[in-house]
Structure 1
Amino acid sequence: MNSETLTPAAEAIAPRALYIEVADRLRRLIQSHAMAPGEWIDEQALATQYGISRTPLREALKVLATEGMVVLKPRRGCYVAQISGGDLEEIYPIMALLEGECAASAARRASDADLAELGGLHQALEHSAAARDIDRFFDANQRFHLLIHHIAGNRRMAQMIDDLRAVLKLQRHDSLYLEGRLVASLEEHRVLMAALQARDAEAARRAMQEHIESSRKALSS
C-alpha cells in the first residue's frame, strides 16, 4: 500500500448525530402543523416519547431556533415560531429577488431536455387546476420551482430559497386555498413557462417576481 494513501489525520466518519435526526423529525412535525404555530414544546414529554435524554433534544431545538422554526424564551421554554404579517412583508421581497434570479439563469441555461421536463410539470399544473386538486397542484408547483433551481445551477441561492420557504411553511394557510388564487397562479405559470421556452431571461425574471408578489398580496388581503 502506498504510504501516502492514508495519513495520521485520517479518521473514520462518525455516524449521523442523534440531535440531527431529532431536528429532522421535529422540523417535519412543525411544517405539517402537527405542532401548531405558537405551541409550547414539552421537552420532557418529547424526550420520553423518543426514548432519548434531554441533551440531544435541546441541541435539536437550538438547530431549529437558528432556522427560525422555534423560539427559545428564557425561563419559559421553547415554542413553535409564528409567522406574522410583518414577517411576510420581509420575506416575500427577498424570495422574489432570489426566485427571479433563478428563473433568469434557468432561461439562459436550460437545455431542450430541461424545457421538456418543465413542460411536463406545467402540464401537471394544468391538469390539477382543471380538476381543482389543490394538493396535486401544490406538489407539481413545488417540483416545478425545484427544477428551475436545479437548472439555474446556483446551489447557494437554492439553499437560501429553501430556508425561506421553510419559514413560510409556518403559515396556517397556503394562498392556493384562497378564492381565485388557483386560477391566477396557473395563469402566472403560463406566462413564466412561455418566457422560459423563449429563453428570455428578463421576461422569466419578471414573470417569477410577479408570481411571488401575487402570492404575497393574496395572503395579506
Structure 2
Amino acid sequence: MRLVHSSLHADVADQLRRRIFDGELAPGTFLDEVHLAQALGISRTPLREALKVLTAEGLVRHEPRRGCFVAEVTEQDLNEIFPVIALLEGRCAYEAALHATDADLQALEVLHTKLARHARSKRINEYYATNFAIHEAIIALAGNRWLAQVIGDLRKILKLARLQQLHAPGRLEQSLSEHLAVFAALKARDPEGAEAAMRTHLTRQRVALDDLARGTRPKVAS
C-alpha cells in the first residue's frame, strides 16, 4: 500500500515501529532498504529518514557498511533499564493516587475488568494491550510530562521484550495480581502503597524474563 501523507518518513517510521512491536520484524532482522522501499511503494529517501528516527529511539541499530538491523535487547539492557523504569513508574503511581478522580478510577475499573477477563482466557496479546493501556492511564494521571517523556523512551525499548515475560509459567496470573494491588492502592488514595506496588510489578517483570530465559517458574512472594 502506497503511503501518501505529507510527513512521509513519520508514516514509514510508524509502520516499521508497529511491525517491530508485533514481532513481524524480529530482533536482529536485517532491514533491506530496497525490499522495504518496494513493499511500501516509496523511494529510499523517506525510508532512510524513518530508519534514522527508529535508530534514535533505540529500536534499530545501524552498522557502517552493513546497514540497519532491528535492535536486540540484551540482558545488560534489561538489568539497567528495569530498575530505572520501576522508579519512574512507581513515582507516577504515587502521583496518580493523589490526583485520580472518581471518574478516573471508574475508567481504570473498566480496564482492570478487561485485564482479568483476558487473563482468565489466557489471551496474552489482548492482556498485554490492556496492560499497556493501564500503564499509560496511570502515567497520564500523574500529570508530569517529564516523567511521561522519559518513560515513553524507555518503554519503546522494553516493548521488544515485555510480551515475552507473559509466556512464563504462572506469570499471567501473577501480573494480574500485581495490577490489582496497584489499583487497590489507587482506590484507597494511598500514594506510598501505589508506588511500592508499581515498583514491585515492574521488578517482577524483570524476574519473569530472567526465569523464562532460565526455564524456571516465576518467583512468587511469600
The TM-score normalised by the length of structure 1 is 0.88
| Aligned-residue offset at 1:172 | 8.2
SS in 2 for 1:171: helix
Name the structure 2 match of 1:34: 24
Distance 1:91 1:182, change over 3 A: same
What amino acid is aligned across from residue 154 of structure 1 in structure 2? N
Report if the CA contact (8 A) 1:99-1:208 is conserved: yes
Name the structure 2 match of 1:8: none
User: Which of 94, 110, 121 lines up with 1:120 in the alignment?
Assistant: 110
Name the structure 2 match of 1:186: 176
Distance 2:138 2:149 in 1: 13
Name the structure 2 match of 1:151: 141
Name the structure 2 match of 1:206: 196
Report if the CA contact (8 A) 2:162-2:205 is conserved: no
SS in 1 for 2:122: coil
Distance 1:21 1:165, change over 3 A: same
The C-alpha deviation readout for 1:161-198, integer Å capped at 9, x for no partner, is 22212111222852111101111111111211111011
Q: Percent identity among equivalent residues?
A: 50
Q: Does 1:163 align with 2:153?
A: yes
Name the structure 2 match of 1:68: 58
Distance 2:174 2:9 in 1: 42
Report if the CA contact (8 A) 2:119-2:176 is conserved: yes
The 10-residue stretch of structure 1 (103-112 or 41-50) with the greater mean CA deviation from structure 2: 41-50
Report if the CA contact (8 A) 1:149-1:158 is conserved: yes
Distance 1:79 1:109, change over 3 A: same
What amino acid is aligned across from residue 116 of structure 2 in structure 1? E
Number of residue equivalences: 207
User: Which of 79, 93, 96 lines up with 1:89 in the alignment?
Assistant: 79
What amino acid is aligned across from residue 166 of structure 1 in structure 2? K
Q: Does 1:80 align with 2:79?
A: no
Distance 1:213 1:154 in 2: 22
SS in 1 for 2:58: coil
SS in 1 for 2:166: helix
Name the structure 2 match of 1:49: 39
Distance 2:210 2:77 in 1: 11
SS in 2 for 1:34: coil
SS in 2 for 1:79: strand
Gaps of at least 5 residues in structure 1 are: 1-14
Distance 1:204 1:122 in 2: 15
SS in 1 for 2:160: coil
Gaps of at least 5 residues in structure 2 are: 212-222
Report if the CA contact (8 A) 2:128-2:163 is conserved: no
SS in 2 for 1:191: helix
Name the structure 2 match of 1:9: none
Report if the CA contact (8 A) 1:82-1:171 is conserved: no
SS in 1 for 2:61: strand
Name the structure 2 match of 1:138: 128
The 10-residue stretch of structure 1 (194-203 or 183-192) with the greater mean CA deviation from structure 2: 183-192
Q: Does 1:99 align with 2:59?
A: no
